[in-house]
Amino acid sequence: MNMHTRAQRGVSLVEVLVAMVILAVGLLGLVGLQGRLHVLQMESYQRAQALILLHDMASRVMLNRNNADDYVTGSPLGEGANCALIVGATRAIEDSRDWCNAIQGSAETIGGGTKVGAMLGGRGCVESLGSGEYLIAVAWQGLGPVSAPPDSVACGLGDYDGGADSVCVDDLCRRVVTTVVRIADLT
């Protein structure tokens, strides 16, 4: 029997190591994909919550059209605002207080009454544009930097920048949804 014509049997150690490296790289890719999907799911959830709250206030303004000017906010409602200090007996004041609580997440709480049912750092603003037009905006903290919303939407402007070593600078982590409500003059 000739030594050079002998058939190879089994798998060499090098081939096993190469297969393990390929498998490890593939699994690490899947772990990274799973993490990215989690971030995208949270961003999507927050946007959906913001759109619900935006539509809620737009409906409230349209239903109370004769007093639409009373909905204009001097400062953002939600994060950092004490909703209990919004007092009064008018429909607009009650709507603003309810909207403030909803932006803070009062629809869902965890132990101790911590509100968790809305966006991270949510803020809501109603601004008069004149001629019976009102800009309603909801802003919140995104999980990562993207392009900043236009500065013409002042709601939450500059409130979502992180510290010196943060990737959240120049409003790159601020997310905003807006709508314009037009109140027709029916006289």
Q: Where are the domains of the chain?
A: 9-182
Evaluate the CA torsion angle 150, 151, 155, 160 in order and state its sign: positive
Dihedral pair phi/psi, residue 129, rounded to 5°: -100, 0
Q: pTM value?
A: 0.81
Residue 1 scores a pLDDT above 60: no
Using only C-alpha atoms, the chain has a radius of gyration, in whole angstroms, of: 27
- 72/143: higher pLDDT: 72
At 109-163, the pLDDT tens digits run 788 777 777 889 999 999 999 999 999 999 999 988 888 888 889 999 989 888 7
- In the chain, which residue ranges form alpha helices assigned H by DSSP? 13-63, 91-104
Burial class (CB in 10 A: 0-12, 13-18, 19+), 10: exposed
Query: pLDDT-based confidence at 5, cuts 50/70/90?
Result: low
CB 144, CB 135: distance < 8 Å: no
